Amino acid sequence: MTPYLSIESLNVGYGNTRVLNEVSLDVARGELVALLGSSGCGKTTLLRSIAGFVTPESGAIKVDGRDIARLPPEKRGTAMMFQSYALWPHMSVEDNIGYGLKMRSWKKDAIAKRVGEMLTLLQLVGFGPRSVMQLSGGQRQRVALGRALAVDPQLLLLDEPMSNLDYKVRIELRHELRALQRRIGITAVYVTHDREEALTLADRIAVIDAGRVVQYGPPEEIFHRPTSAFVAGFMGADNAIDVMRLPNGSLTADQVGGEKLRAHFRSDVAWITTERSASGDDDLRLAGTVTQAIYVGQGYRYRVRTNGADIWANAEERMPEGAVVSVVVPRAALLVFSAATSTRH
Amino acid sequence: MSAIGTSMNAGAASSWPRMFGIALLLALFAFVIFGPLANLFLWAFAEKWYFPSKLPQEFGFTFWARVFAPRGNALASLGTSIWIALLTVLMSLIVAIPAGYALARLRLRWRSLILLAFLLPQAVPNLPVYVNIARVFYEIGLNGTILGVVLVHAAHGLVLAVWIASAAFASVDVSLEEAARNIGASPWTCFRTVTLPLAAPGLIASAIFVFLESLDEFTGTYFVGVPDVTTLPLLMFNASMGGNYQIASITALLLLVPSIAFMLVVERFLKADVLAMVGR
- pLDDT tier, A250 (very low <50, low <70, confident <90, very high otherwise): confident
According to DSSP, residue A142 is labeled H
Q: What is the pLDDT of residue B13?
A: 56
Same domain, A112 and A210: yes
pLDDT in tens, A134-176: 998 889 999 999 999 999 999 999 999 888 788 888 888 888 8
In angstroms, the CA B140 to CA B62 distance is 43
Same domain, A210 and A257: no
Q: Which domain holds residue B45?
A: 2-60
Domain limit, last residue, from B13, B37, B60: B60
- Select the highest-mean-pLDDT range: A1-10, A48-57, A234-243: A48-57
Mean pLDDT, range B200-223, rounded to an integer? 89
Same domain, B88 and B223: yes
Q: Which of B179, B185, B193 sits opposite A86 (nearest CB)?
A: B179
In angstroms, the CA B158 to CA B152 distance is 10
Q: Indicate whether B44 belongs to any domain.
A: yes
Radius of gyration of chain A (CA): 24
Q: Indicate whether B79 belongs to any domain.
A: yes
Per cent of chain A over pLDDT 70 is 94
Q: What is the pLDDT of residue A332?
A: 81
Put simply, whether A147 touches B (Cβ < 8 Å) is yes
Mean pLDDT, all residues of chain B: 84
Domain limit, last residue, from A177, A207, A233: A233
Same domain, B77 and B180: yes
pLDDT in tens, B179-209: 999 999 999 999 999 999 999 988 988 898 8
In angstroms, the CA B236 to CA B28 distance is 28
**Bridge partners for A156 per DSSP:** A79, A188
Same domain, B83 and B47: no
- Confirm if B201 and B271 have CB atoms less than 8 A apart: yes
Q: What are phi and psi of B146, to 5 degrees?
A: -60, -45
| Helix axes A137-150 and A167-184, enclosed angle (nearest 10) | 20
Interface test with A, best of B105, B182, B189, B198 (most A CBs within 10 A): B182
Interface test with A, best of B183, B191, B192 (most A CBs within 10 A): B183
Q: What is the pLDDT of residue A342?
A: 65
Q: Indicate whether B68 belongs to any domain.
A: no
**Is B266's pLDDT higher than 80?**
no
Per cent of chain B over pLDDT 70 is 90
Q: What is the pLDDT of residue B10?
A: 47
Q: Would you put residue A96 in left (φ > 0), alpha (ψ -120 to 50) or beta? A: alpha
Q: Which domain holds residue A294?
A: 239-338
**Is B8's pLDDT higher than 70?**
no
Q: Distance of CA B26 to CAs B13, B15, B17, B38, Å?
A: 21, 17, 14, 17
Q: Indicate whether B66 belongs to any domain.
A: no
Is A133 or B54 the better-scoring residue by pLDDT?
A: A133
Q: What is the pLDDT of residue A119?
A: 93
Put simply, whether A15 touches B (Cβ < 8 Å) is no
Q: Which of B182, B189, B194 sits opposite A51 (nearest CB)?
A: B182
**Is A38's pLDDT higher than 60?**
yes
The burial of A38, by beta-carbon neighbours within 10 Å (0-12 exposed, 13-18 middle, 19 or more buried), is given as exposed
Q: What is the pLDDT of residue B93?
A: 94
- pLDDT tier, A322 (very low <50, low <70, confident <90, very high otherwise): confident
- pLDDT tier, B6 (very low <50, low <70, confident <90, very high otherwise): very low
Q: What is the pLDDT of residue A193?
A: 92
Inter-chain CB proximity A103 and B189 less than 8 Å: yes
Name every chain B residue with its beta carbon within 8 A of the beta carbon of A90.
197-198
Q: Indicate whether B67 belongs to any domain.
A: no
Q: Indicate whether A147 belongs to any domain.
A: yes
**Is B5's pLDDT higher than 70?**
no
CB atoms inside a 10 Å sphere around CB A19: 22
Same domain, B53 and B174: no
Is A33 or B127 the better-scoring residue by pLDDT?
A: A33
Q: Indicate whether A20 belongs to any domain.
A: yes
**Is B162's pLDDT higher than 50?**
yes
Same domain, A167 and A289: no
Mean pLDDT, range B208-224, rounded to an integer? 90
Is A93 or B202 the better-scoring residue by pLDDT?
A: A93
Q: How large is the ipTM? A: 0.83
Mean pLDDT, all residues of chain A: 88
Q: Indicate whether A319 belongs to any domain.
A: yes
Q: Indicate whether A246 belongs to any domain.
A: yes
Inter-chain CB proximity A88 and B184 less than 8 Å: no
Pairing type for strands A300-306 and A284-295 reads antiparallel
According to DSSP, residue A152 is labeled -
Q: What is the pLDDT of residue B12?
A: 53
Domain limit, last residue, from B60, B87, B104: B60
Choose the weakest-confidence range: A107-111, A165-169, B69-73. B69-73
Is A9 or A298 the better-scoring residue by pLDDT?
A: A9
Same domain, B212 and B189: yes
Q: Indicate whether A344 belongs to any domain.
A: no
In angstroms, the CA A181 to CA B98 distance is 41
Q: Indicate whether B204 belongs to any domain.
A: yes
Name every chain B residue with its beta carbon within 8 A of the beta carbon of A100.
183-184
> The domain spanning residue B269 has which CATH number?
1.10.3720.10
pLDDT in tens, B83-133: 999 999 999 999 999 999 988 887 767 777 887 887 777 778 888 888 888
Same domain, B13 and B145: no
Mean pLDDT, range A85-96, rounded to an integer? 94
Q: What is the 3-state secondary structure (H, E, C) of chain B?
A: CHHHHHHHHCCHHHHHHHHHHHHHHHHHHHHHHHHHHHHHHHHHCEEECCCCCCCCCEECCHHHHHHHCCCCCHHHHHHHHHHHHHHHHHHHHHHHHHHHHHHHHCCHHHHHHHHHHHHHHHHCCHHHHHHHHHHHHHHCCCCCCHHHHHHHHHHHHHHHHHHHHHHHHHCCCHHHHHHHHHCCCCHHHHHHHHHHHHHHHHHHHHHHHHHHHHHHCCHHHHHHHCCCCCCHHHHHHHHHHCCCHHHHHHHHHHHHHHHHHHHHHHHHHCCHHHHCCCCC
Per cent of chain A over pLDDT 90 is 47
**Is A80's pLDDT higher than 90?**
yes
Q: What is the 3-state secondary structure (H, E, C) of A83-118?
A: CCCCCCCCCEHHHHHHHHHHHCCCCHHHHHHHHHHH
Q: What is the pLDDT of residue A87?
A: 95
Name every chain A residue with its beta carbon within 8 A of the beta carbon of B180.
88, 99
**Is B51's pLDDT higher than 50?**
yes
Same domain, A150 and A277: no
- Number of domains forming the structure of chain B: 2
Inter-chain CB proximity B179 and A88 less than 8 Å: yes
> The domain spanning residue A136 has which CATH number?
3.40.50.300
Mean pLDDT, range B202-223, rounded to an integer? 90
Same domain, A157 and A16: yes
Domain limit, last residue, from A204, A233, A262: A233
Same domain, A75 and A210: yes
Mean pLDDT, range A240-264, rounded to an integer? 78
Same domain, A201 and A268: no
Domain limit, last residue, from A168, A203, A233: A233
Same domain, A319 and A247: yes
Q: Indicate whether A343 belongs to any domain.
A: no
**Is B23's pLDDT higher than 50?**
yes
Q: Indicate whether B65 belongs to any domain.
A: no
How many pairs of residues across A and B have Cβ atoms under 8 Å apart? Answer: 60
Same domain, A68 and A143: yes
Same domain, B96 and B136: yes
Chain B residues bordering chain A (beta-carbon distance below 8 Å): 173, 175-176, 178-187, 189, 193-194, 197-198
Q: What is the pLDDT of residue B71?
A: 67
Same domain, A67 and A86: yes
The residue type at A43: K
pLDDT in tens, A269-292: 888 887 766 555 677 888 888 988
In angstroms, the CA B139 to CA B130 distance is 14
Same domain, A211 and A278: no
Choose the weakest-confidence range: A57-71, B13-27, B85-99. B13-27
Same domain, B200 and B242: yes
- Number of domains forming the structure of chain A: 2
Choose the weakest-confidence range: A66-70, A339-343, B2-6. B2-6
Q: What is the pLDDT of residue B260?
A: 84
Same domain, B166 and B49: no
Residue in chain A closest to B194 (alpha carbons) equals: A88
Mean pLDDT, range A340-345, rounded to an integer? 66
Inter-chain CB proximity A84 and B173 less than 8 Å: yes
Residue in chain A closest to B184 (alpha carbons) equals: A74
Q: Indicate whether A257 belongs to any domain.
A: yes
Same domain, B100 and B174: yes
Inter-chain CB proximity A52 and B176 less than 8 Å: no
Q: Indicate whether A285 belongs to any domain.
A: yes
pLDDT in tens, A166-211: 888 888 888 888 998 999 899 999 999 999 999 999 999 999 999 9
Interface test with B, best of A103, A132, A156 (most B CBs within 10 A): A103
Q: What is the pLDDT of residue B228?
A: 85
Same domain, B191 and B139: yes
Same domain, B190 and B144: yes
Domain limit, last residue, from B37, B60, B83: B60
Mean pLDDT, range A218-247, rounded to an integer? 87
- Confirm if B224 and B84 have CB atoms less than 8 A apart: no
Contacts 24+ apart (CB under 8 A), A99-107: A99/A147, A99/B180, A99/B183, A99/B185, A99/B193, A100/A147, A100/A150, A100/A151, A100/B183, A100/B184, A101/A150, A101/A151, A103/A74, A103/B183, A103/B184, A103/B185, A103/B189, A104/A151, A104/B184
Same domain, A202 and A67: yes
∠ CA A23-A28-A32, rounded to 5°: 85
- pLDDT tier, A129 (very low <50, low <70, confident <90, very high otherwise): very high
CB atoms inside a 10 Å sphere around CB B200: 13
Put simply, whether A52 touches B (Cβ < 8 Å) is yes
Q: What is the pLDDT of residue A278?
A: 58
Strand, coil or helix: what is A199? helix
Mean pLDDT, range A239-267, rounded to an integer? 79
